[in-house]
Amino acid sequence: MTDASRIAARALGFRALVWGFTLMTIVPFGLLLLTSVKSKQDLFEGAFVLPDRIHWENYVTAWVDGHFSVYFWNSVLVVVPVVGVSVLLGLLTGFAFAFLSFPFKKTIFVVLTLGMMVPTEAFIIPLYYEMRWLGLLNTYAALILPQIAMSVPFATLFMASAMQQLPRDILEAALLDGAPRGLILRRVILPLMRPAISSLALFLFIWTWNEFLIPLVLVNDDSLRTMPLGMLFFQGRYTVNIPVLTAGAVLVILPIIVVYLIFQRKFIEGLTAGASK
Amino acid sequence: MGKLEFAGLTKSFGHAKVIRETDLTVEDGEFVVFVGPSGCGKSTMLRMIAGLDEITGGELRINGRVVNDVAPVDRGIAMVFQSYALYPHMTVFENIAFPLQVAKLPEAEIRRRVAEAAAVLKLEERLAHKPAALSGGQRQRVAIGRAIVREPAVFLFDEPLSNLDAALRAEMRVELTRLHAKLGTTMIYVTHDQVEAMTMADKIVVLRDGVVEQVGSPLELFHRPANRFVAGFLGNPTMNFLPAEATGTAAGGIAMRLAGAGEVTVPVEGGAAPGEALELGIRPDDLRLGAGEVRFRVVPEVIEQLGNQSVVYGAAETGQAICAVVSGGFGLRPGVAAEFGFDPAAAHLFRQDGAACPRRVVPGATVAA
Ligand SMILES: Nc1ncnc2c1ncn2[C@@H]1O[C@H](COP(=O)(O)OP(=O)(O)OP(=O)(O)O)[C@@H](O)[C@H]1O
Ligand SMILES: [Mg+2]
């Protein structure tokens, strides 16, 4: 065998492996999509059999009868403020940790790291009592406020490390140009941080969208339930109708995929091109 | 007005003393170049002047005012970074206008000043572009533009040309000198390129390991280096150093025995006890082929023909590496010994501790000693 063909063979093997993994990831997902447009009768023909027509009505049933319209808007109403406020706070606290010195900086940093490691299960009971004492149970505030608090540690560490990686010269140049802190943050750091901010927003979006325990424990009013929780109660009501169930599942996942596709382009874009040689 | 005075200035990072006590005066309108090998503290010096690094000890005065605790923006300085440090998300216009916008100047004034700077730096066509769309030289000019619109009293440049190719570097060198002549502002320029230092400076400050080795005009430093380090640092190719042993002090200077070349008397001030170990320094272009009072044989190893000149790298009979730049020299062959020589007046003399013996005659230069 020549060198070239050996390399080609190795590349082929590698590709086959990658394709294998890709298929393993995609097949269950494709199956989910397929099932969601089948009728109950189609389902008995076999998992991989195509339906004779596409049953969109499964989605309508899930959206209307399954209350997914309500759950969807609740999720949006919770995710948008949580992501927005957390990113904003993360920018400010990240800036402080990256560039300023203040008392107990190290200690606070450690506390934040701990805050990231403690699982929700560990503090959900005290949180429940706290919310009850504040009279916030069964409100949007009960869904939003704790999740902001849970996002800020990660947002802070993420923003701080991203800011530390900004070219130092540029910030010093701004300092010499006489820009005060706020202005440097707004006009120099913020534009350079766009890729980092969109990655952070994406992470927070996915976590908040999928959050289960907080809405489960802190609200029990169906009109306040979010998507993942709605899915649980929906399952209870529709266990027999698998296609409608899968349609509900698709509705839960779809926004994540859409948001990911929008944001991931920003991941790759580098914005510091041209700052230096 | 931009006069700088360093009084016992020091800088430490933790326990590491990076700048030792430095006393230095930079006159208004002077072009001062800091040179020195990598890590000697040039950037640190600039950053202390700019206010980006805190001053550990001593005083820094700008126009008589102590600025140790003055914010960078209030020191009346502008700095051009080696990496240009442009704002990548802003256009050239916005980059240059940024310090003016920060200072809240009226819009019309900002436009006027940016247009003026752009004209000086030949950037008019580029004002709407982002830095990514510019060449290295243009980016460097934008960085300079951002500095000049503020009309500072002192300009600081940290190796501004080191990212450019040789041709562009030569061009920018001339442009910077022209800019200095036009603005008449004090400029402090850091480089480790000795050509930049020699060609641009009114005054060169040679640094080594945080210590100022010598301050003076380029020619003064070149012809009267204070010590072996300065002598070896300036000049290209570097000076040859030949070990010698003093035989006594004569009327014409210090007499010595040079291994492989016999007796030499170098016209310098001071005296030497017989037997004292000395080092004779001779610049490669002061060596001549088959001429000169003092002769010795060199076996060339590598010969670079530059057309009108030949650069010869070889070894003397003592094994000492020798570099010579001679006119002609087309007959030289690697491995075939040839006789080189020099005039004692062209030589430098250094003592064991590196200090130079002051030269009596300085060829080719009128130096205010
Ligand atoms: N923030 C810092 N903390 C600790 N040591 C530092 C710091 N900045 C610089 N130094 C040290 O100070 C010394 C001088 O550094 P400096 O950057 O001034 O050198 P330089 O002369 O500009 O070198 P170069 O030509 O490579 O730019 C170096 O030994 C460096 O390691
Ligand atoms: Mg440096």
Q: Nearest-CA neighbor of B337 among B302, B301, B299?
A: B299
Q: pLDDT tens-digit profile of A139-155?
A: 999 999 999 999 999 99
Those residues whose beta carbon sits under 5 angstroms from the ion ligand 2 are: B 43
Q: How confident is the model at residue A277 (pLDDT cuts 50, 70, 90)?
A: very low
Q: Does ligand 1 come within 6 angstroms of the Cβ of B210?
A: no
- CB contacts of A273 in chain B (<8 Å) are 88, 132
Mean pLDDT of A214-229: 92
pLDDT at A270: 43
- Cα separation, A169 vs B105, in Å, equals 25
Q: Work out the mean pLDDT of chain A and round it to a whole number.
A: 88
Q: How confident is the model at residue B369 (pLDDT cuts 50, 70, 90)?
A: very low
- CB contacts of A178 in chain B (<8 Å) are 72-73, 99, 102-103
Q: Does ligand 1 come within 6 angstroms of the Cβ of B83?
A: no
Task: Using the predicted structure, report yes or no on whether residue A4 has a pLDDT greater than 80.
Answer: no
Strands laid side by side in the B16-26 sheet: B16-26, B4-13, B57-62, B65-66
CA dist B173 → A274, B32, B137, B236 (Å):
22, 14, 11, 18
Q: Does ligand 1 come within 6 angstroms of the Cβ of B38?
A: yes
Return the ligand 1 atom nearest residue B40 CA: 21
CA dist A47 → A38, A40, A238, A252 (Å):
10, 11, 19, 21
Strands laid side by side in the B154-158 sheet: B77-80, B154-158, B186-191, B31-35, B203-208, B211-216
Residue ID of nearest Cα to ligand 1 atom 3: B13
- Cα separation, B269 vs B366, in Å, equals 18
Q: Which two tokens stand for residue A140?
A: 């949007």
Which of A206-215, A253-262, A267-276 shows the lowest mean pLDDT across its residues? Answer: A267-276
- Cα separation, A123 vs A134, in Å, equals 16
- CB contacts of B99 in chain A (<8 Å) are 177-178
Superfamily of domain A65-268: MetI-like (1.10.3720.10)
Out of B17, B19, B34, B42, give the residue to mutate to test ligand 1, the one with the largest number of ligand atoms within 8 Å of its CB.
B42
Please name the residues in contact with A114: beta carbons below 8 A apart, sequence gap of 6 or more: none
Mean pLDDT of B5-27: 94
Quick one: how far is CA B326 from the chain centroid?
Answer: 25
Q: How confident is the model at residue B163 (pLDDT cuts 50, 70, 90)?
A: confident
Ordered by start, the domain boundaries in chain A are 3-57, 65-268
Q: pLDDT tens-digit profile of A194-206?
A: 888 988 998 899 9
Task: Using the predicted structure, report yes or no on whether residue A267 has a pLDDT greater than 70.
Answer: no
Q: Which two tokens stand for residue B321?
A: 């590496």
Ordered domains of chain B (ranges, CATH): 4-225 (3.40.50.300), 237-350 (2.40.50.140)
Q: pLDDT tens-digit profile of B120-148?
A: 888 999 999 999 999 888 999 999 999 99
Q: Work out the mean pLDDT of chain B and round it to a whole number.
A: 91
- The DSSP element (H or E) to which B10 belongs, if any, is strand B4-13
Q: What does B210-256 look like in DSSP terms, one character per residue? A: TEEEEEE-HHHHHHS-SBHHHHHHSSSSPPEEEEEEEEEEETTEEEE
Q: Does ligand 1 come within 6 angstroms of the Cβ of B37?
A: no
Out of B10, B43, B82, B158, give the residue to mutate to test ligand 1, the one with the largest number of ligand atoms within 8 Å of its CB.
B43
- The DSSP element (H or E) to which B155 belongs, if any, is strand B154-158
Mean pLDDT of A231-253: 87
Residue whose entry in the numeric block shows the structure tokens 């490390």: A161
pTM for this predicted structure: 0.82
Is the ipTM higher than 0.85? The answer is no
